[in-house]
């Protein structure tokens, strides 16, 4: 075997924070051959970005980096800043996660590209004037040719219009911005590309396009790539080899198809199991219990031991051995023998890992299957709806300042445009649609946080106004779960107080409230210990559970859920899905579920409504809609979603602030 292009050995990154150091990367090793794409996967926070930055030598003073990084025989770690910089300028490029944020807002696209080109051409030219871009003449190349080269770069990433050169980052869409930053990364014609979640912030369609583009480029230029992601599907599709990291350590590595098809390490198996693809709607999902270990704590033994169903005493106390797989992969686990070499079915391990016992007080898991047939039967107009939207529209002013009105230039946007929907009792209606389609607005109308411009919102037969007009009972009839788990809880309030609030407002006695809080906590799988914590002391999943407990505190007949799993990890997402299923069965309430994540919607919903530009373009039984979409729009939505489970929603679109 020849020397790999990049080899990383026993890499460790520590962040010096106020108190104890955070060990973000802890002994990570990997290697990349020329022309090879290596995927680096793992849950959020397991040190992927930290490792990439350490490889590129981008960590500042707050981080301490140890270990060896060898690039084409050069020991990057011992290079002077200046030499390292030159390597970055010419041979090693990095693409970061958030496309818009990686372009300097005050500089044009052209500046970025030409800067990258100049640095690649003349890496030694560090003159201040050149750095400032002041003296184009000194660049040794007429600006005309450089412009042409910049254009060519843009063309390569699929931006043909020369107009793009003079744009500023904020004038680009997320996909365009990411293309531009890829173009800058390619300017130096690098040997190695470090791509740190290059597509997470993009919507499904754009993501596919960008990844295809990368694939082409890699093939064309024989680029070696490290592709960081926590998206298993994506990695399986695009990578030659995969490295699975956990808590800053490599758990398993090997050829992509082998690792994903016959994972050996319990962590890899657990991760793969959480995927939604291939599950039957309404089934309980396997989950990985527990959380990432505290990166500030010293660990002995296997870091995954605490969450591993196979863990033995020795796992917890001694560092696990690294076992070479016959196919060239490696696994870091001491209990491989005891883990049954189970059959693998389409990448899904029918295994005993990670199933969480049902929360106390929640109904038996077995009864849950009943959801699916009910939905299949239900046709569009429902007979006894708990919720009905009748020709509802919502108009938001874009510019209705008195000045604009004076000039007759007041403008409005139709966030929701003549929407009619009905939700049956005990049923789950999923609403999907791309960002800005009006999904959240529908929810706001239902809960009364916004008032409909026209149309009626009918709940349980009564036409409702806004929150301020609703009676106590009407308010109690609807529970709402907000999008971001952390932000839906007052950061200053303890969990107990948060759950207490609706009960208090409903006029409950003190003792009764206390009992109810305990009951609710156990219903969502937490206990009284959590009641005295504040939101920042809880994990995202726990916060979401608290929020859920609060939403169902008064046993509403209807619960509306706005992106209940958006900001969550795969395994947490599975937990929340399970919880929702359990609750619905136990409480017999109807759900309106809004999500970008078609996987989740398909898994939970009986019926689905597809929204676009404020209108419902299609609605129907979940199964039918997924298998046989009636509109092209739904089809694109679906095709973008297939195979890729873990899409984070695009960055929250900005709502124009009210003056």
Neighbours of 324 (CB within 10 A): 10
b (16+ CB within 10 A) / e for 292-316: bbebeeebebbbbbbbbebbeeebe
Decide: is 336 part of the binding site for other proteins (CB under 8 A).
no
Helices and strands (H, E) in the chain, number of each type: 23, 24
Instruction: Pick out residues in 355-394 that bind other proteins (CB under 8 A).
Output: none
Coil, helix or strand at residue 206: helix
- What residues form DSSP beta bridges with 323? 331
- What residues form DSSP beta bridges with 429? 592, 607
What is the rounded CA–CA span in Å between residue 633 and residue 521? 41
Nearer to other proteins, 435 or 487 (CB): 487
Cα 240 → chain centroid: 23
Q: Which of other proteins, ligand ATP, Mg ion, none lies near 538, with the C-beta cut-off 5 to 8 A by kind?
A: other proteins
Out of 180, 202, 415, 520, name the contact with ligand ATP by CB under 6 A: 415
Decide: is 487 part of the binding site for other proteins (CB under 8 A).
yes
| Sequence-separated (6 or more) residues with CB below 8 Å from residue 192 | 5, 6, 32, 71, 91, 92, 93, 223, 224, 225, 226
Kindly determine how many residues on this chain lie close enough to bind ligand ATP according to the rule CB under 6 A.
31
Nearer to other proteins, 129 or 137 (CB): 129
Nearer to other proteins, 542 or 634 (CB): 542
**Minimal distance in Å, beta carbon 396 to ligand ATP?**
3
Instruction: Pick out residues in 267-306 that bind ligand ATP (CB under 6 A).
Output: 295
Give CA angle at 204 (165, 232), nearest 5°.
115
Coil, helix or strand at residue 514: helix
Q: Which of other proteins, Mg ion, ligand ATP, none lies near 361, with the C-beta cut-off 5 to 8 A by kind?
A: none
Q: Which one of the spans 125-133, 197-205, 389-397, 417-425 is the region binding other proteins (CB under 8 A)? A: 125-133
Q: Which helix (H) or strand (E) holds 214?
A: helix 204-221
**Minimal distance in Å, beta carbon 443 to Mg ion?**
8
Instruction: Pick out residues in 575-614 that bind ligand ATP (CB under 6 A).
Output: 596
Decide: is 140 part of the binding site for other proteins (CB under 8 A).
no
Out of 490, 515, 527, 588, name the contact with other proteins by CB under 8 A: 490
Q: Which of Mg ion, other proteins, ligand ATP, none lies near 396, with the C-beta cut-off 5 to 8 A by kind?
A: ligand ATP
Decide: is 441 part of the binding site for ligand ATP (CB under 6 A).
yes
Q: How many CA atoms lie within 13 A of 318 on its CB side?
A: 8
Instruction: Pick out residues in 40-99 that bind other proteins (CB under 8 A).
Output: 43-45, 53, 56, 58, 61-62, 81-82, 85-90, 93-94, 96-98
Cβ neighbourhood burial of 287 (10 Å; 0-12, 13-18, 19+): buried
Q: Which of ligand ATP, other proteins, Mg ion, none lies near 413, with the C-beta cut-off 5 to 8 A by kind?
A: ligand ATP
Decide: is 264 part of the binding site for ligand ATP (CB under 6 A).
no
Q: Which residues in this chain contact ligand ATP in the complex, by CB under 6 A?
A: 15, 17, 22, 24, 42, 44-50, 62, 230, 295, 396, 413, 415, 433, 435-441, 596, 649, 653, 655-656
């Amino acid at each position: 075997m020849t020397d790999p292009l990049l080899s990383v050995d026993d890499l460790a990154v520590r962040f010096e924070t106020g108190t104890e150091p955070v060990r973000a990367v802890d002994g990570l090793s990997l290697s990349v051959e020329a022309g090879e794409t290596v995927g680096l996967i793992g849950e959020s926070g397991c040190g992927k970005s930290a490792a990439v930055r350490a490889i590129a030598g981008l960590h500042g003073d707050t981080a301490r980096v140890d270990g060896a990084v060898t690039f084409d025989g050069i020991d990057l770690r011992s290079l002077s800043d200046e030499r390292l910089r030159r390597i970055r300028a010419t041979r090693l490029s990095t693409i970061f996660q958030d496309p818009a944020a990686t372009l300097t807002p005050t500089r044009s696209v052209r500046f970025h590209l030409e800067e990258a080109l100049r640095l690649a051409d003349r890496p030694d030219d560090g003159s201040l004037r050149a750095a400032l871009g002041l003296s184009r003449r000194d660049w040794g190349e007429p600006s005309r040719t450089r412009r042409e080269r910049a254009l060519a770069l843009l063309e390569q990433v699929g931006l043909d219009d020369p107009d793009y050169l003079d744009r500023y980052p904020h004038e680009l869409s997320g996909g365009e911005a990411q293309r531009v930053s890829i173009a800058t990364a390619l300017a130096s014609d690098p040997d190695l590309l470090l791509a740190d979640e290059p597509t997470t912030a993009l919507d499904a369609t754009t993501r596919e396009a960008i990844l295809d583009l990368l694939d082409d480029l890699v093939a064309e230029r024989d680029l070696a790539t490290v592709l960081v992601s926590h998206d298993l599907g994506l990695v399986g599709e695009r990578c030659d080899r995969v490295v699975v990291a956990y808590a800053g350590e490599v758990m398993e590595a090997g050829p992509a198809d082998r690792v994903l098809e016959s994972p050996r390490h319990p962590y890899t198996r657990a991760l793969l199991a959480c995927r939604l693809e291939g599950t039957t709607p309404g089934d309980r999902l396997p989950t990985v219990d527990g959380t990432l270990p505290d990166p500030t704590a010293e660990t002995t033994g296997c870091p995954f031991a605490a969450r591993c169903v196979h863990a033995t005493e020795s796992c917890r106390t001694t560092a696990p051995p690294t076992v070479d797989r016959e196919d060239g992969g490696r696994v870091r686990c001491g209990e491989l023998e005891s883990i049954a070499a189970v059959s693998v079915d389409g990448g899904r391990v029918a295994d005993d890992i990670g199933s969480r016992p049902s929360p106390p007080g929640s109904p038996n898991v077995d009864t849950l299957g009943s959801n699916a047939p009910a939905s299949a039967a239900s046709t569009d107009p429902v007979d006894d709806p708990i919720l009905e939207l009748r020709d509802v529209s919502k108009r938001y002013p874009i510019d209705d300042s008195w000045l604009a009105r004076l000039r007759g230039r007041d403008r409005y946007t139709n966030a929701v445009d003549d929407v009619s929907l009905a939700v049956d009792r005990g049923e789950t209606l999923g609403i999907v649609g791309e960002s800005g389609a009006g999904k959240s607005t529908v929810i706001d109308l239902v809960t009364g946080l916004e008032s409909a411009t026209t149309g009626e919102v009918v709940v349980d037969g009564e036409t409702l106004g806004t929150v301020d007009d609703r009676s106590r009972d009407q308010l109690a009839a609807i529970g709402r779960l907000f999008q971001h788990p952390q932000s839906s809880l007052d950061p200053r309030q303890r969990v107990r107080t948060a759950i207490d609030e609706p009960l208090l407002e409903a006029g409950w006695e003190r003792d009764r409230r206390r009992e109810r809080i305990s009951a609710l906590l156990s219903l969502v799988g937490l206990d009284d210990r959590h009641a005295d914590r504040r939101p920042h002391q809880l994990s995202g999943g726990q916060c979401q559970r608290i929020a859920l407990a609060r939403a169902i505190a008064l046993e509403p007949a209807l619960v509306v859920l706005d992106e209940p799993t958006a900001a969550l990890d795969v395994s947490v997402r599975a937990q929340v899905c399970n919880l929702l299923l359990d609750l619905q069965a136990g409480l017999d309430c109807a759900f309106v579920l809004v999500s970008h994540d078609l996987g989740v919607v398909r898994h939970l919903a009986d019926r689905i409504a597809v929204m676009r530009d404020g209108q419902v373009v299609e609605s129907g039984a979940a199964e039918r809609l997924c298998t046989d979409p009636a509109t092209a729009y739904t089809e694109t939505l679906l095709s973008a979603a297939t195979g890729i489970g873990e899409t984070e929603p695009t960055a929250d679109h900005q709502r124009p602030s009210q003056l």
